[in-house]
Amino acid sequence: MKRRAEPFWWSLFGAGGVMSAMFLPVLLLFFGFAVPFGWIDVPAYEGLRTLLDMFLVKLLLFAIVALSFFHWAHRFRFTLYEGLQLHRFSRTIAFLCYGIAILLSVFACYVMFVL
C-alpha cells in the first residue's frame, strides 16, 4: 500500500485556516484600525519590544505566519488544479507551492528567532 502525504498537507491547511481566522482579524483590528484612528493609545516601543522578546509570543506569531503560508499554499495549489485545470503538472505545482511555504516559514523563523 502506497503512503501519501496528502493528510499532512491537509492538516497544515486546516491549522493555518484556524490560526488565520482566529488571530489575524484581532491583529488587523488592533494595528490596522484602533491605533491609526486613535481609538487606543499607540503602544510604546519599549512595551512592544518587551512583549516581542518573550519566547511564547514569538512562537505564537511564528505559528500564525507559518501556518498561514501553508494555508495559502494548499488553496493556491487546488486553485491551479481545479480552477485552471492544470492536472498534468500536479507534482510540479505541489512541489512549488509547498516549497515556497516551507522557504517562507524558514525565513519567518530566522527573522523572529535569530534577528
The pLDDT of residue 5 is 81
pLDDT digits (tens, 9 = 90+) for 39-58: 999 889 999 899 999 999 99
Is it the case that residue 93 has pLDDT exceeding 80? Answer: yes
Residue 25's nearest CA partner among 12, 38, 15, 34 is 34
58 touches 14 (CB < 8 A): no
Give domain 18-113's CATH number out of 1.20.1300.10, 3.40.190.10, 3.50.50.60, 1.10.3720.10. Answer: 1.20.1300.10
Q: Provide the whole-model pTM.
A: 0.83
> Among residues of the chain, what percentage have pLDDT more than 90?
69
